[in-house]
Amino acid sequence: MITKMKKLTFLIYHKDYESFLDKIRELGVIHVQERQAGVMNDDLQSNLFLHNQYKDILKEMSFQFKDKADEQVYTDLSAEELISQYNNLVGNVQTLNQRIPAVEKEIGEMGVWGDFSWDDLRKIEKAGYFIQFYNCTEREYQKEWEEKCDVVQITKAAGHVFFITISKEQVTLDIEPVAMPKLSLSELQQKKNELLETQASAKEELQEFCRKYSNTLEHYDKYLQGDIDLIKVRLDGEPQAEGSVLLMEGWIPVNCEEAVRKTLDESSVYYEIRETVKGDNPPIKLKNNWFNKLYEVLTGMYGMPEYTEFDPTPLIAPFFSLFFAFCLGDAGYGLVLIALGMILKKKMPNMRGMMNLVISLGIFTAVFGTVLGTFFGVNIYEATWVPEGLKSFMISGKVNIAGGTYDKQMILALGIGVFHTIVAMLIKALVQTGRFGFKNALGAWGWFLLVGFGTIIATFMFLNLIPENISKWALIAIGGVAAIGIYLLNDLHRNVFVNIGAGVWDTYNMATGLMGDILSYMRLYALGLAGGMLGGVFNSLGLMVQDSVGGIPGWVVCCIILVLGHAFNIAMSCISAFVHPLRLNFVEYFKNSGYEGTGVTYNPFTTVENKNK
């Protein structure tokens, strides 16, 4: 649900402005309404630049270490010193990363010449001989060169001749001499090994620095964000009475009114607290029970509701969980998610909320996977060791409908889609009634009546629960009443002919879109079926290898195949089971419910300490 808000208006004497901001900042519950969006000053611009820099460095730091970051905040380094040391460590690693390939290139160049001592060559040169290194193709090599000086061929490789010339006088051949490295092959190899050791040490030092100081930099970033908020609020004060007073507006949750009044009464500011009225755009603070709260992150991914809208979280929670369980569709995989969530919840306390969501989805998957009759790719509906009482709750096999044979799980997916769509239409009608009044929501109620009750009557007729002639007249009556709202009364402020045209257009959109929306829910069945089949393939492959190898080695290989195969299947299935249910909620459900998600998130002006609570 959406927390009720009240509007705050302040008039502050300009000399008391800074002290007043400190007071409301300590309160930590007032959402200051932004009045001058986009207004910048030098301090704000500088802090925003630093904030982006901190975020980029924190992202880089997170990739530098595998273990858990040190939770302690170290104050031995300021933010500037911390970033400077980090950049120095990164620069050192990057320099080594560039030097090693250069040495490797020189090693490759020296490889064809072999390992020799440059000191020995220098002794020969001191004796009055000129030594030069050459490399040319076999076609370019000329026998005449051997007459000018002593030519020593070192090797031939890939159509090239590598040779040196030794002469008493400087000779010039038709090709350029090779520029040789200054170190011998063994010296280059030793240099490379030293650089690799230095590189490993530098990387280890960087990783340890990131592990130790990443939480510290995040702490500095939170304080910087607090400074940014303060500057923004300063800019939000609107000068009045030639600048002697400043006007500020904000919002507070209704349950905080008493504390806010007490603080404001102690200050020398004029304030007014009033109820929200039509046209206001209060910030949105969601308030849900512990289960629905796990799914608020999904609502936030799409966008917060408007103040007069309906919080979609209480409906997203059960439907997303059901869709996820249907897509994953395996009770064994659900148990794996529960165990994984519990383990990571202890090891990563900062991700406690996310792990609770994983555990919740695992419970839904374990229960619904049992209903679908699948356990680690095994069809337990056909297993003899499963109690018959449990099998009576399972949905498996085929069913005959209108002369055709269909999979029960496929029919279940379509049924869920129809129900989800009807619920969305009901929510749309209720929200429009709450926002604009019942008279201005007759079009939405007409569509809900036609699709919702029409589907119920048609289902009862198909199942022979009510006589056909009664069903026919009931459908006619429902269609007639619905048509009045859809075609004649969809907007009481428009001409009747305009309403008819708008109703026809809505009918076209509904006819072309509704069937596609419902068929989209087939993906629940398809993904669950694909995951179950792939799990069965890994089971068959593991047992086939065990039969071929036999004995303990066969079982070892079989277990490896099963563990790796099901781990891969769980990972891939979880991705699909997250993305596609999200789409069914964000596209099919939100479209039919009229949800827009354009609300502003409640963000109280507070101190860093309060934000960390």
SS (H, E, C) 123-153: HHHHCCCEEEEEEEECCCCCCCHHHHCEEEE
The predicted structure's pLDDT at residue 610: 40
The answer to the question of residue 405 being in a domain is: no
Q: Would you say 535 and 334 are in contact if contact means Cβ atoms under 8 Å apart?
A: no
End of a domain among 228, 251, 283?
Answer: 283
pLDDT tens across 93-134, in order? 889 888 899 898 888 888 888 888 888 888 888 888 888 899
Most confident of 9-13, 56-60, 605-609: 56-60
* Rounded alpha-carbon distances, angstroms, from residue 51 to 46, 202, 217, 369: 9, 27, 11, 46
For tokens 């119920």, the residue is 456
The predicted structure's pLDDT at residue 193: 93
Give, as one character, the DSSP assignment of residue 594.
T
Return the bridge partners of 162, or none.
135, 155
Is residue 235 over pLDDT 70?
no
Calculate ∠ Cα 218-222-223, nearest 5°.
Answer: 120
For tokens 């020296």, the residue is 110
Average per-residue pLDDT for the chain: 83
Q: Mean pLDDT throughout 248-257?
A: 86
* Rounded alpha-carbon distances, angstroms, from residue 92 to 53, 55, 78, 116, 204: 20, 22, 21, 32, 12
Is residue 258 over pLDDT 60?
yes
Shared domain for 390 and 298, answered yes or no, is yes
Is residue 232 over pLDDT 70?
no
Shared domain for 345 and 326, answered yes or no, is yes
Is residue 336 over pLDDT 90?
yes
Q: Would you say 85 and 209 are in contact if contact means Cβ atoms under 8 Å apart?
A: yes
Q: Mean pLDDT throughout 4-17?
A: 76
The predicted structure's pLDDT at residue 465: 77
The answer to the question of residue 613 being in a domain is: no
CA 446 – CA 565 distance, rounded (Å):
51
* Rounded alpha-carbon distances, angstroms, from residue 300 to 297, 305, 313, 588, 599: 5, 9, 9, 17, 10
pLDDT tens across 400-416, in order? 776 678 788 888 888 89
pLDDT tens across 192-209, in order? 999 999 999 998 888 888
Shared domain for 331 and 381, answered yes or no, is yes
CA 613 – CA 610 distance, rounded (Å):
5
Is residue 341 over pLDDT 70?
yes
Give, as one character, the DSSP assignment of residue 294.
T
Shared domain for 303 and 339, answered yes or no, is yes
The answer to the question of residue 326 being in a domain is: yes
Q: Mean pLDDT throughout 322-340?
A: 92
pTM listed for this prediction: 0.68
End of a domain among 156, 179, 202?
Answer: 179
Shared domain for 153 and 21, answered yes or no, is no
CA 323 – CA 577 distance, rounded (Å):
7
End of a domain among 258, 283, 308?
Answer: 283
Shared domain for 276 and 295, answered yes or no, is no
Domain count, the chain: 3
What is the extent of the structural domain holding 137?
114-179
The predicted structure's pLDDT at residue 334: 92
Is residue 162 over pLDDT 60?
yes
Shared domain for 377 and 524, answered yes or no, is yes
Is residue 354 over pLDDT 50?
yes
SS3 282: coil
Shared domain for 370 and 324, answered yes or no, is yes
The predicted structure's pLDDT at residue 366: 92
The answer to the question of residue 457 being in a domain is: no
Shared domain for 323 and 391, answered yes or no, is yes
The answer to the question of residue 418 being in a domain is: no
pLDDT tens across 142-159, in order? 888 887 788 888 888 888
Shared domain for 296 and 392, answered yes or no, is yes
Cα dihedral sign, 7-8-11-12: negative
Q: Mean pLDDT throughout 369-383?
A: 86
Tokens of 443: 């079009």
* Rounded alpha-carbon distances, angstroms, from residue 542 to 89, 336, 338, 528, 560: 48, 20, 25, 21, 8
SS3 373: coil
Band (270; pLDDT cuts 50, 70, 90): confident
Shared domain for 257 and 124, answered yes or no, is no
The answer to the question of residue 321 being in a domain is: yes
Band (321; pLDDT cuts 50, 70, 90): very high
DSSP conformation letters of 30-76: -EEPPSSTT---HHHHHHHHHHHHHHHHHHHHHTT-SSPPP-SPP-S
The answer to the question of residue 540 being in a domain is: yes
CA 531 – CA 378 distance, rounded (Å):
11
Shared domain for 316 and 389, answered yes or no, is yes
- Give the CATH number for residue 250: 3.30.70.240
CA 284 – CA 305 distance, rounded (Å):
7
Band (611; pLDDT cuts 50, 70, 90): very low
The predicted structure's pLDDT at residue 38: 47
319: Cα separation from own chain's centroid: 20
Q: Would you say 4 and 254 are in contact if contact means Cβ atoms under 8 Å apart?
A: yes
Q: 10 Å Cβ neighbour count for 452?
A: 21
Q: Mean pLDDT throughout 50-65?
A: 81
Band (564; pLDDT cuts 50, 70, 90): very high
Band (340; pLDDT cuts 50, 70, 90): very high
Q: Mean pLDDT throughout 334-350?
A: 87
Q: Mean pLDDT throughout 268-296?
A: 85
The answer to the question of residue 296 being in a domain is: yes
Q: Mean pLDDT throughout 2-28?
A: 77
The predicted structure's pLDDT at residue 13: 64
Band (323; pLDDT cuts 50, 70, 90): very high
CA 565 – CA 535 distance, rounded (Å):
7
pLDDT tens across 421-452, in order? 889 889 888 888 887 788 888 888 888 888 88
DSSP conformation letters of 249-262: EEEEEGGGHHHHHH
